[in-house]
Amino acid sequence: MNAPAYHLPGVKNTADVVAPTPARALNTGGASDDTGARTVAEVLAGSQVTSILDELDRELVGLLPVKTRMRDIAALLVIDRLRRNLGLTSNAPSLHMSFTGNPGTGKTTVAMRMAQILHNLGYVRSGHLVAVTRDDLVGQYIGHTAPKTKEVLKKAMGGVLFIDEAYYLYRPENERDYGQEAIEILLQVMENQRDDLVVILAGYKDRMDTFFQSNPGMNSRIAHHIEFPDYAPAELSHIAEKMLAEQHYSMDSGANAAFQKYIQLRMQQPHFANARSIRNALERARLRQASRLFSQPDKVLSAADLSTLCAEDILASRVFQNPQASA
Ligand SMILES: Nc1ncnc2c1ncn2[C@@H]1O[C@H](COP(=O)(O)OP(=O)(O)OP(=O)(O)O)[C@@H](O)[C@H]1O
Ligand SMILES: [Mg+2]
C-alpha cells in the first residue's frame, strides 16, 4: 500500500504528550479479556489474531523469518496476558521494534498487520498506524521541532508510530541539528507511554545499525529487531502473479516468459526496490495493454482481451531497450 499514513479518528487528546503517565492496566481497546482468561484459546478467542497471522501468511509471499517473528511476538503477548491475569506481571512489556531491510521488502505492510495484532490483543487502544519521516518530526527553525514531534505523537498515541528511514533523525555532521531534539522527545515517550504507543523504526539495515551505535538510548528501547530479506526472483514472480490476480489480470505464456527476463534485468539496475518495483512494472504493463487495445477501436473486446497482458506489453519496457537505465 502506498498511502503514507493511516489515521483513525478518536485519538487521545493529550495536552502534553511527553508528560509521563502512570502505568495503567492494558486491555483498554482490544478484544481480549477482562474476564480473567486462563488458556491461550480464551485469550485468542474473538481477537482475530490467528486470522490476521494466517492472512499475512497467505497475502505475503516469502518472508518466512518475518512471519515467524510475528508469530513469536503474538505468542509472547498472549502469554503475557495470561501472566497478567494471574498477577505474575504488571509492567507493560516494551514492544518498540525495528524493521530493517531494503526498499519494497514489505516493512510498511507488515507494520500495519502488527498494529492490528497489538490492538486486538489489547496492547494499544486503536489499531491505527501513523507513518512519518524526518520531515514530519523535525522543524526548520529553532522552536519548531518540539511542537511538530508532539503533534505527530498525539496522532499516533493509542496506536503505532512508524518512522521510515529513522536514521535521518540523527545528523552528527551538523552540530545543531534539530533531529536530536525529536529523538529526545521520542525517547521519553517510548519509555513513559509504552503502554499506549508502539514505535517502529524502519530503514536500511546498515544505516540503522550505525544509528543504534550512536544512539544507545534508542537501541535499548527497541525490544524486537526484525530483518526483512530481499526477495528471490521466483518470489518476485509469485508476487507479480498475486498482484495481477487481485486486479483480475493475468499474463499469457509469452508475457510470463518476458517477465522472468524483466525481473533478472531489473534486479541488476539502479533503484531496484523489490516488490515495489514489481508493482510499478505491472502498472506500466497495464498502461501499455490499454494503449494496445485502444489502438484497435473496432475490435470487440472479450473479458480475456481485457484482462490479459501479452509479451509486447512487457517487452516494451525500457529495461529491455537499455539495460543500464532504470526502469
Ligand atoms: N511478500 C510480499 N508479497 C506480496 N506483496 C508484497 C510483499 N512485500 C511487499 N509487497 C507489496 O509491495 C509493495 C511495497 O511493500 P511495502 O510498502 O510494505 O514495502 P516497504 O518495505 O515498506 O518499502 P519502502 O521501503 O519502499 O517503504 C506493497 O504494495 C506491498 O503490498
Ligand atoms: Mg514502506
DSSP 224-280: EEEEEPPPPHHHHHHHHHHHHHHTT-EE-HHHHHHHHHHHHHHHTSTT--HHHHHHH
pLDDT at 202: 97
Question: What's the CA angle centered on 9, arms 6 and 14, to 5 degrees?
Answer: 105
Cell of 145: 521541532
On the question of pLDDT at 163 being above 70, the answer is yes
Closest of 143, 172, 26 to residue 94, by C-alpha: 26
pLDDT tens for each residue of 179-190: 999 999 999 999
Q: How far is the CA of 2 from the centre of ligand 1 (A)?
A: 9
The count of C-alpha atoms lying within 13 angstroms of the C-alpha of 100, restricted to the half-sphere facing its C-beta, is 16
CB 120 within 8 Å of CB 31: yes
pLDDT tens for each residue of 99-148: 999 999 999 999 999 999 999 988 899 989 999 999 999 999 999 999 99
Work out the pLDDT band at 45, boundaries 50, 70, 90. Answer: confident
pLDDT at 135: 96
Work out the pLDDT band at 200, boundaries 50, 70, 90. Answer: very high
Which amino acid would we find at residue 215?
N
- Name the residue with the closest Cα to ligand 1, atom 28: 1
Check pocket membership of 203 for ligand 1, CB cut-off 6 A.
no
User: Across residues 65-90, what is the average pLDDT?
Assistant: 91
Check pocket membership of 61 for ligand 1, CB cut-off 6 A.
yes
Residue of 1, 55, 59, 105 to test ligand 1 pocket, by largest number of atoms within 8 Å of CB: 105
On the question of pLDDT at 16 being above 90, the answer is no
Check pocket membership of 48 for ligand 1, CB cut-off 6 A.
no
Work out the pLDDT band at 1, boundaries 50, 70, 90. Answer: very low
Residue 277: nearest ligand to its CA?
1
Query: Taking the model in full, what pTM does it have?
Result: 0.85
